[in-house]
Structure 1
Amino acid sequence: MSLTRDTVEEIRQYIRENCSTLFGKKFWECRTIALIQFSTKSDKYEQKFFVISKFRVFILHGKTPLHLKIDKKFNLLSLRAIQVISASKELSLSWEDRSGRSIVKSSIKCTEMEPIELAKSLLAALKHYFPDIGPSLQNFIAIVPSQLLSDFQSFPISTPKLLCNNFRRSYVAICDYYDQRYKDEVVWDIEHIYFTHDLHEIRLEDFSHLPVKDQITILACSQFSEYFTAISIEGTKLVSEHIEILFNIIRRSHSLKSLRLINCSLPKDFITHISAAISANIHIPLETLDFTGNNLDDRKGFQQLSTVLPKLTNLKSLYFTNCGLSEKCVTAISSGLISGFTMENSGKKLELRALGFAGNLLKDDVSELVNFISLCTSLRVLDLSSTSILIDRLWNNLKLGGLQLEVLKLSGCSTGKKSKEHASVVKELFGCMVNLKEVDFSNTQIGPDLLQGFLSGLSNNNQIKDVIVNLNGVCDKTCAPILEKFLIDCPIGTLFIRDSSLENEILPVLTTLRKMKSLTMLDIGGNNFYTLKSNKKYASIYSHISDELVKMMNESNLQELNLSDARIGETMHVILNALGVSKLTLLDISNNEMGNSGARLLSKALQLNHCLQKLYIDRNQITAEGFGELSNALKLNRTLQSMPTPIIDVSDAFGKPDRSRVLTAVSEIERYLERNRSEKCRNEELRQKVIHQLNNRSEKYEINSSDYKRIIFFEVIKVISDFGSEPAIRIPIDEVVDSIVSKLDQISKANDEKTLSKLKEALAEHGVEICENVEAKNPGQENYLRKSIKQLIENHLTEMSWATVFMKADRLLTSNNALKLRGSFSNGAIDHSVLVGYSKLNHRPASMVHDSSDTPSRTTSIDELNNGGSGATTPLVHLAKSRPRPAHRLRNIKDENGNTSSGIDSTPPLSSSTTNHNSSIMNNSTTSHMSQSSSSGDSNGSPLNRRAALLPPPPSASPQLYASVPDEPPSTTPPPIPRRTPNMPPKLPPKPESPAKSPIHKHNSSITSATSGSSELIDRF
């Protein structure tokens, strides 16, 4: 029974006004309402209403508005076929019934509008929610005639166009398709985070807190969107729903460029299914495929993939790291890559730039892989780490296709018995590479011959520089001479030689590393020093090694040094003492057993260092006391910006009673580091830097040979220090700032006009017109600009002024007659002065805490090391316990001449000769006895005297007042310091012997000499 025209209009009006009541709250409008003849069978048609509301299609039946019922409904994404039959004026539709997992076919006849217009209404609604779906339409919908596809581009675009290519609209339509709730937080993250940072890669980890079905709706948005060009999933176990939506994305997407599925527990047949998906969409612009960390050993699947790879002409990177592939799988991939590289009659060939098979055991048949390496000249990254591949088979092929490699990773590979024969090939290969940036041979025993060929090739290559070379676990004692001879001329910027067990052969290698001009980063930690530390017979070698490390820190171009896991122990104080004047910007001394005493020395070095920016100190058994020392040091340090919290040491210290001290110290350390990172005024930092630079160059000012120059030097340092502690000099720069701001304001106005003009044009293209001019000047902008410019000018002036201070002071101190002291101490005293006991140390002197006869001592200067001298070992001397006992019983002792002298309790009279002698020393000598004892060697005098000799005289006193009278002639040997005998239980007296056998009778002369020595001791007192 047909409906009358009035009834049809009434029903149409009712549907338009009550669509939310009929279909649901989210369907508040209808795009199309038409009366149709609908049939799901070939010969039976029924009169129904065809309605497109939002992203759904509804088929309704009913004779009155009150009797309307929904007969069919489906999402626009469920469409699988749209066919216009012109002969019968029918529209054939097919859609997916997700409830029954079947395809529904229907025929539609419409007298109100042409079938092709009805089809265009469906496609226009689809474009409203998915504006980028055009190129993907034919991948999941069969459309006839093809004219509809060409007309699709002319369909109107949804307005207003929302962020991320209408992600909000696409997401709500996809949520309806998968029957999932719309999540506002997902839209907020995409529109605020992804759009703000211009992120085009969907990271599933960003939404790992959501259920799997919600994650699927997010991934599905990338099927038809040009905004999302990459998908990254790492460490998330994928279920079958994830896998299925990924396959759909590959079948339908026309913008996906990168697919990274790392450690996702992919099924073994994944390669088979993804190969089929790629075959269904060979125009997908994939550039990166990364399946690292998935067990994918499927021979048949890789055979199928080898037929697909040649069609991916945009592919640039392919990674199958740690995928458990066999040689046959790798052979299949290599065959496919070779066929894609050698395709004939093709407009574009495969140009792979990165290939990675690391972690797959490849021992036997790798001929196809080797052939591909020889053919692919576009390859820039080759990673065959931990494959156990015989690298001897690669050298000749790399000469053919690998000369433009940038990264070559061959760690954990193997070499053959005849590897020596390939040394010349290796030398020629690395001598011809033009873009080499990184080489990794770690844990590959290449042997001395291949190592020599590699290093000699690098040294002969003038086209590369600052190469990163990893030789961890490669070298041994036999390779040390090779490193010593060939490293010095290699263009290596970063070198790793950890865990090489070089031990006592490392000393000449360190000397070579110090002389390398290009080396800026060195990692020499690990087990390179274990044997030397544990064996006492290598103590002298260990001492020289520590000295060489110090010289490397001071004299080389090294900027970063890694000594982690070396377990250097007490000898670490040598390096820490040298850190005060080091030029290093990064130092890693983790796991070196330095303890709180090492932390104390490190704090002293940090108070002087002005270059170090990053420091790593974890696993060093530091407790609350050590952290407190470090926090006090950072209070004075203005350059260190990063010191990651030593988690292990802090956690261990938390278990002790002084937990609150640890928390306080760690918080203070973080506060000072934050201050150094955000500090705007650099006056204090620059002051410290100038003082440190002058101290480091003090040996050029000849202060070792003259008290006069030494006093001038310390006066200059004191003045600069006082000068820097005063407030910065204020220069009237307001006029300069005003002129700059006015000029910038003029330039800004011209720039604003051009910018607004471009904005107006861009808005006009999107249908938006600016009707009136609105003032958009920011009132606080000028003040902010003025403040910023003023701060920049002040910082610049401060830096320039301190640079001028340094250069001026340096030149004045270098010149002989540029500075003069007022008073009695004149320049003429330079000619009469003797060698002063002040020696310039390029490091902090060895600490009393670490002085021990079992560990190498570090008390010599760098200049002495260069001249071949070595520092004397200084025993630990306690100022109270080591003082000699007073000889109260030594009274009326006769000397050799028979004269009787009084003991300690009586004071001998001062003779006139002694007075005259001391007076002459006071008047003529300009050298203090304390300095003289310091210069004579560290074994003479206590550490307190040695350190006092290094202190400058107070500026207020006359230099001559510090020339003390010596207590004895210089030739007199100081008395031995008696040892304290331990408290032992009394022993029985010895058995009496005859007078002839008595030791007293035999050694009577020894007693006489001892008595004479005691007499001399009493005279000196």
Structure 2
Amino acid sequence: FQIECHFHYLDIVGVESKKSTHFSIVTSDRPYSFVTTGDAGNFSSNADVILTDLASAIKQIFPTVPLKYIIRKIDIQPPEREIIFSEEFRPSDPRNVGPCGGFSAQYACMCDFHGVPYREEVAWDVDTIYLSHDTRVLNLRDFDHLEPKDLMAIVSALEYNTFFRGLKAAHMRLSHETLERILHVLKRSMWLEELHLEALGLRWDFLNKLSISVITNSNPAIRTIDLSHNIIEDKGAIHLAGPIAKVSKGLCKLALAHCGLTSKGVNQMSHSLTLNQSIANSLTYLDLSGNSLKDDITNLHNFLAQPNVLEHLDLASTDITLENLFGALLRGCATHLAHLNVSHNSFSTKKGREIPPSFKQFFTSTFSLKHLNIAGCKLPMEALKNLLLGLACNESTAGLYLDLSSNTLGAQGAHVLESCIHGVRVLQSLDISDNNLDAELAPVLTAISKNPSIRTLHLTRSLTGMKPKHIPPVMDALVNLIQKDDFPLAELVLSENKLKHDLHDFINALGSNQSLQKLDISGNFMGDVGARLLAKALQINNRLRTIYMDKNGVTLQGYADIVYALEHNHSMRTIPFPVFDIAPHLKSHPDKTDAVMRKMQELLQRNCNGLKRATGQGFRLQHGFLLSSTHQLVDKLVAETQDTISLAKGGSDSASAVQRLITDAENCKQLMPKLQEAVRNDSHPIEMKLTRVASELGYTIKSYLEETLETMMRTGIEQCPKTLGNQIVVQDLRKGLAECLVVPEEFLQICLLNNAGSEIMNKVGEIEQSLAAAISDRATDEVLEALTRYRRGMGIAESPSVLLDEPQTPDIVRSRSSHDADGLIIRPGGRGSILPKLGLESPTVSVENLSLPNWMQ
């Protein structure tokens, strides 16, 4: 045989056959006509046989796509012969569809079409990794190590693939041929919904071709376009406006951040957004950040002012005037908008220009706002006040993250925050970093502590450059903030403040804190002394889960102290690798560095596995706080009261009552251990319930698996009746799979009792400690108040010793679970503030290193 011509399946653009013995195949180059030999009535000599084989071959490669989408022109006469190319004649069988919609076969076809080698790793990655994660967006970064021509074949495979819904290429260089294939796929595909082409160096001419491809597609599925960090300029935006106006299903996401746009291009595009009626009900994400839009964006305001479903709007660093924006947001975006970023813009600088009422009204009326970034905007005081008052009046949203960082608020802004922030109950996270608040930060922190809805506080670079004399009051206010029971702060970011030894008192207070779970103290140069104090705090803190502590000038010995503390801490889960602190030691002491870091990760992993903590630890710690502080004051008052009784000549009833009070005072010092004894340690009903649940769960799992096995057996017999329908085979399967139906009891015990059970029991233990603390605190407070009343009733002046240790009101003398201070400590020459004494060395004296553990020696 001699091959006279050959062409690829994908070269075929049309098939024509008006006689059963004649047919023509039209390719992109030329038409080919064929005539069959033999009797026209003989089916084996009929053209239909050849056309049927052709259709079957194409369908085998693209099983989920109708043939009419691959061969665009089919003319078969008479009409009854058209069944050759109909879907009814050749329905898609899921059994014949490979992983990810048959991607591997389609990729092989495209390799052959483009004349490039077939890469097994590409097929394996898609058939295995993409399938296992059900990833529907093909990311070219997964294959950027291949040749550019290989990427061309990978992109082409998406043309008739119905599994993948998107294509992504970011921060890489694509060849001209690959970009052309992307455009071709956009022109032909009816299934590609997402196009992410970020930072590829694209220009406006590519946008011209892209718009033509989308418009040419008779049924485009595109819903997401991300062209961020490509300098497409206004020309590109104007070209993109065409398909935006004509996409029938509307867009869901449009991202054009840092694209070199101005108001001209954005106005044209915004006009298209307004013209397309579907977009008002489909577009949920719009990012125009990093473009120089300035003030003349009327069309964008018009689009935002019409009712829409935008959830995410990013206009950061666009040079817009903010007061002009919020009128549009109030009219069109108050219902659905959840994420608003207008950072690094500004308000009008015209003197006498007032903030429009719409600014405050938007924050009052927004229903869904969860994230507001208005950082770096040089907020006028009136704007800040209206923002906070507007949010304070909002009763619709909650859990808001508010970023006010880098606004140069100064003292005036601090006064506004101090007067308003406590009433903004929609706040969950607040960032006031880098605002030059100086000494006024202390009263701001006090005001923040009165807003219990705030769970996260960012103070990055808030104390950098502050005068040394202002830092102690601020740190005292921060210590009091984290010790308030009615202010359960869960996350605190205190990074890049260069506090050095001023951080030590705060670290001391961490030992008794019962709310912080995540703490960032990186970049404070606290040194090994701070690491030593932190190590001691970690030995008694059972709440912290994550600490960032890099860039603190901590040496290997300091981290060894931290590791030593982790031996006794079962709550810490994450300490990110301290790259900056450890890097110098990798060369000088590589083995010790590896040992310390390895041990740290092992202990953190141990904590992640979940272990039950000893219940008595918390009670003993609580009792220790009382002995070291409040009970000392009780002892002094009791001693002086007894002296008073011996000198007084009062009635027997009065003396008896005071004696009973003294007895209560002595007993209250031992109340915490008694309350611990009252807690059930053996045969705890919760643990017994978990054991029963584990047993019941085992039976439930076994019943479920037995039922699942029966369902699978029936399905297998229906699909393969000849092989699996044999009773001997069925019996062998049942016998062989019987052991698989039982989940080991040890496994369930580990899951429920050791893992989940440990977390539950630890939480119960914390509640028990809180209950005991509340009872003990109340008893102590009542004793102190009664003794103080008695002394004053006798007209006895306060002694110097009592005046020194006793706070101004008895209510302040409380243990850590019920008031700002855990105890009292007076430091000579200090600031006279109320701080917890945790038995930690003073940060002003030299501290000996903890002894090295065996694994370090």
TM-score by length of 1: 0.68
Q: CA deviation at 1:492?
A: 0.8
Matched, 1:668 2:602: no
Match of 1:895 in 2: none
Whole-angstrom distance in 1 between the partners of 2:57 and 2:330: 58
User: Given that residues 701 and 709 in structure 1 are in contact (C-alpha distance below 8 angstroms), is that contact kept between their aligned partners in structure 2?
Assistant: no
Whole-angstrom distance in 2 between the partners of 1:460 and 1:165: 53
User: Given that residues 409 and 439 in structure 1 are in contact (C-alpha distance below 8 angstroms), is that contact kept between their aligned partners in structure 2?
Assistant: yes
Q: CA deviation at 1:231?
A: 1.0
Q: CA deviation at 1:554?
A: 1.8
Whole-angstrom distance in 1 between the partners of 2:722 and 2:191: 27
Matched, 1:433 2:390: no
Aligned letter for 1:861?
A: L
Q: CA deviation at 1:308?
A: 1.6
Q: CA deviation at 1:124?
A: 2.1
Q: In the comparison of the two structures, how many residue pairs are matched?
A: 763
Task: Within 5 Å, give how 1:955-974 maps onto structure 2.
Answer: none
Pairing partner for 1:325 from 242, 245, 261: 261
Unaligned runs of 5+ in 2: 39-44, 636-664, 780-786, 792-798, 807-812, 848-857
Aligned letter for 2:579?
A: I
Match of 1:163 in 2: 99
* Partner SS for 1:222: coil
Q: Deviations over 1:286-317 (max 9, x none)?
A: 12100111111152x43333222122224111
Matched, 1:591 2:531: no
Match of 2:180 in 1: 244
Whole-angstrom distance in 2 between the partners of 1:82 and 1:804: 75
Task: Within 5 Å, give how 1:595-994 maps onto structure 2.
Answer: 595-655=527-587, 657-679=588-610, 681-684=611-614, 688-689=617-618, 691-692=620-621, 704-706=633-635, 708-709=666-667, 712=670, 741-742=698-699, 744-754=701-711, 756-757=713-714, 763=719, 772=727, 773=730, 774-775=733-734, 778=737, 781=740, 784-792=743-751, 794-795=753-754, 842=816, 860-861=834-835
* Partner SS for 2:155: helix
* Partner SS for 2:394: coil
Whole-angstrom distance in 2 between the partners of 1:384 and 1:565: 27
Task: Within 5 Å, give how 1:234-273 maps onto structure 2.
Answer: 234-273=170-209
* Partner SS for 1:386: coil
Pairing partner for 1:222 from 150, 158, 173: 158
Kindly tell me: are residues 349 and 629 of structure 1, through their superposed partners in 2, closer, same or farther at Cα, counting changes over 3 Å? Answer: closer
Whole-angstrom distance in 2 between the partners of 1:149 and 1:372: 50
User: Given that residues 374 and 398 in structure 1 are in contact (C-alpha distance below 8 angstroms), is that contact kept between their aligned partners in structure 2?
Assistant: yes
Whole-angstrom distance in 2 between the partners of 1:735 and 1:494: 41
User: Given that residues 592 and 619 in structure 1 are in contact (C-alpha distance below 8 angstroms), is that contact kept between their aligned partners in structure 2?
Assistant: yes
Kindly tell me: are residues 437 and 698 of structure 1, through their superposed partners in 2, closer, same or farther at Cα, counting changes over 3 Å? Answer: farther
Match of 1:492 in 2: 427
Q: CA deviation at 1:502?
A: 0.9
Q: Deviations over 1:181-232 (max 9, x none)?
A: 2222222111211111111111111112221222222222111111111111
Aligned letter for 1:107?
A: S
Match of 2:289 in 1: 358
Q: CA deviation at 1:662?
A: 2.8
Matched, 1:549 2:485: no
User: Given that residues 81 and 142 in structure 1 are in contact (C-alpha distance below 8 angstroms), is that contact kept between their aligned partners in structure 2?
Assistant: yes
* Partner SS for 1:499: coil
Unaligned runs of 5+ in 1: 1-67, 97-102, 820-827, 864-872, 880-1021
Whole-angstrom distance in 1 between the partners of 2:84 and 2:290: 47
Pairing partner for 1:456 from 376, 380, 389: 389
User: Given that residues 690 and 757 in structure 2 are in contact (C-alpha distance below 8 angstroms), is that contact kept between their aligned partners in structure 1?
Assistant: no
User: Given that residues 566 and 592 in structure 1 are in contact (C-alpha distance below 8 angstroms), is that contact kept between their aligned partners in structure 2?
Assistant: yes
Q: Deviations over 1:854-908 (max 9, x none)?
A: xx65763379xxxxxxxxx9996899xxxxxxxxxxxxxxxxxxxxxxxxxxxxx
Kindly tell me: are residues 672 and 143 of structure 1, through their superposed partners in 2, closer, same or farther at Cα, counting changes over 3 Å? Answer: same
Aligned letter for 1:477?
A: A
Pairing partner for 1:104 from 22, 30, 38: 30
* Partner SS for 1:584: coil
Tell me whether 790-799 or 599-608 shows the greater mean CA deviation.
Answer: 790-799
Q: Deviations over 1:637-682 (max 9, x none)?
A: 1111111011011113335x44443332222111111111124x32
* Partner SS for 1:72: coil
Q: CA deviation at 1:597?
A: 1.0
Kindly tell me: are residues 801 and 606 of structure 1, through their superposed partners in 2, closer, same or farther at Cα, counting changes over 3 Å? Answer: closer
Tell me whether 243-252 or 477-486 shows the greater mean CA deviation.
Answer: 477-486
Whole-angstrom distance in 1 between the partners of 2:766 and 2:691: 27
Q: CA deviation at 1:253?
A: 1.1
Pairing partner for 2:442 from 496, 507, 513: 507
Whole-angstrom distance in 2 between the partners of 1:93 and 1:209: 39
* Partner SS for 2:23: strand
Aligned letter for 1:476?
A: G
Q: Deviations over 1:444-475 (max 9, x none)?
A: 12311111111111111100001111111123
Structure whose residues are more often helix by fraction: 2
Kindly tell me: are residues 212 and 649 of structure 1, through their superposed partners in 2, closer, same or farther at Cα, counting changes over 3 Å? Answer: same
* Partner SS for 1:515: coil
Q: Deviations over 1:459-506 (max 9, x none)?
A: 111000011111111233221122112211221111111111111221
Match of 1:307 in 2: 242
Kindly tell me: are residues 624 and 252 of structure 1, through their superposed partners in 2, closer, same or farther at Cα, counting changes over 3 Å? Answer: same
Whole-angstrom distance in 1 between the partners of 2:57 and 2:574: 56
Tell me whether 752-761 or 186-195 shows the greater mean CA deviation.
Answer: 752-761
Whole-angstrom distance in 2 between the partners of 1:511 and 1:271: 54
User: Given that residues 472 and 498 in structure 1 are in contact (C-alpha distance below 8 angstroms), is that contact kept between their aligned partners in structure 2?
Assistant: yes
Whole-angstrom distance in 2 between the partners of 1:734 and 1:427: 56
Whole-angstrom distance in 2 between the partners of 1:338 and 1:481: 43
Q: Deviations over 1:816-835 (max 9, x none)?
A: 8999xxxxxxxx9xx99997
User: Given that residues 290 and 320 in structure 1 are in contact (C-alpha distance below 8 angstroms), is that contact kept between their aligned partners in structure 2?
Assistant: yes
Match of 2:655 in 1: none
User: Given that residues 520 and 548 in structure 2 are in contact (C-alpha distance below 8 angstroms), is that contact kept between their aligned partners in structure 1?
Assistant: yes
Aligned letter for 2:606?
A: R
Kindly tell me: are residues 641 and 878 of structure 1, through their superposed partners in 2, closer, same or farther at Cα, counting changes over 3 Å? Answer: closer
Aligned letter for 2:537?
A: A
User: Given that residues 435 and 464 in structure 1 are in contact (C-alpha distance below 8 angstroms), is that contact kept between their aligned partners in structure 2?
Assistant: yes
Kindly tell me: are residues 596 and 728 of structure 1, through their superposed partners in 2, closer, same or farther at Cα, counting changes over 3 Å? Answer: farther
Whole-angstrom distance in 2 between the partners of 1:807 and 1:305: 59
Q: CA deviation at 1:634?
A: 1.2
Match of 1:414 in 2: 346
Q: CA deviation at 1:441?
A: 0.8
Q: Deviations over 1:304-356 (max 9, x none)?
A: 33222122224111010011112222122112111113x8xxxx976322111
Whole-angstrom distance in 2 between the partners of 1:809 and 1:292: 53
RMSD over aligned Cα, in angstroms?
4.1
Whole-angstrom distance in 1 between the partners of 2:742 and 2:262: 68
User: Given that residues 623 and 672 in structure 2 are in contact (C-alpha distance below 8 angstroms), is that contact kept between their aligned partners in structure 1?
Assistant: no
Match of 2:510 in 1: 579
Q: Please identify the structure whose Cα radius of gyration is greater.
A: 1
Q: CA deviation at 1:690?
A: 5.2
Pairing partner for 1:130 from 46, 49, 62: 62
* Partner SS for 2:5: strand
Pairing partner for 2:137 from 174, 185, 201: 201
Q: Percent identity?
A: 23
* Partner SS for 1:94: strand
* Partner SS for 1:705: helix
